[in-house]
């Protein structure tokens, strides 16, 4: 269910990010309220994201080296995403709704075909690894038909803690928090939050075991 008032904490976080399309509907969007997805500022921001995707996913000159291509892609990430830590590595293709609402910690790795529909804030911690075809769906709709006819949507934030491993073909739904040190088994659909240091599998994902906790490292997410 959509929120009925603005989330001031989310708005304050957004003020620390880059590339934000500030407008009334943007504030509603990241607050989980109903908003108009055709607000001009949002349309332009999504258009900018598609330009980024084309560049990120298709640039591969004949004289490229592993180092030069990695540096080029990292530069694009820093220009498009809200905040990016050290040593990010995302295998193309990579798809986003906005990018500006996505925060990535240090040493993030994603295999091929990552999709982040970041209408809500998406926060990914340090030392997180994704398998191929991971999808983060922070965007959603009402089940009543008329609002969809009117281009009305809403969103929920997604948080993934430090030191997580998200298996291939995992789908993470709006409003979910995955605690630090978690493993999500391949093919799972995460519809509810997962506590720290858990292994969860299935659709919907359920905790099947716990793992030994480790101490936080300096600069933890």
Annotated catalytic residues are 141
Six token digits for residue 49: 């994201």
Torsion sign, CA atoms 13, 7, 9, 174: negative
Torsion sign, CA atoms 18, 79, 31, 131: negative
Distance CA(148)–CA(105), nearest Å, equals 34
Q: What does the CA dihedral 30, 34, 40, 45 come to, rounded to 10 degrees?
A: 30
Q: In what order do the strands lie in the sheet with 165-166?
A: 89-90, 109-110, 129-130, 165-166, 183-184, 198-201, 206-210
Other Cβ atoms closer than 10 A to 12: 9
C-alpha 123, offset from chain centre: 6
Q: 42 with 21: CB under 8 angstroms?
A: yes
Distance CA(215)–CA(8), nearest Å, equals 31
């Amino acid at each position: 269910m959509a929120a009925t008032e603005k989330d001031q904490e989310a708005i304050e976080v957004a003020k620390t990010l880059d590339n934000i399309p500030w407008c009334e509907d943007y504030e509603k969007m990241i607050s989980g309220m109903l908003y108009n997805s055709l607000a001009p500022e949002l349309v332009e921001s999504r258009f900018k994201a598609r330009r980024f995707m084309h560049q990120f996913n298709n640039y591969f000159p004949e004289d490229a080296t592993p180092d030069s291509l990695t540096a080029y892609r990292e530069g694009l990430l820093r220009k498009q995403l809200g905040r990016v830590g050290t040593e990010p590595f995302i295998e193309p293709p990579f798809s986003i709704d906005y990018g500006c609402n996505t925060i990535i910690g240090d040493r993030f790795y994603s295999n091929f075909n990552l999709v982040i529909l970041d209408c809500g804030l998406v926060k990914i911690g340090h030392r997180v690894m994704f398998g191929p075809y991971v999808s983060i769906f922070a965007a959603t709709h009402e089940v009543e038909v008329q609002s969809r006819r009117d281009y009305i949507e809403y969103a929920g934030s997604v948080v993934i803690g430090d030191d997580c491993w998200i298996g291939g073909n995992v789908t993470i739904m709006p409003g979910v928090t995955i605690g630090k040190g978690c493993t999500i088994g391949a093919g799972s659909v995460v519809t509810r939050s997962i506590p720290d240091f858990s292994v969860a599998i299935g659709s919907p994902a359920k905790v099947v075991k716990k793992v030994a906790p480790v101490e936080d490292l300096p600069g933890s997410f």
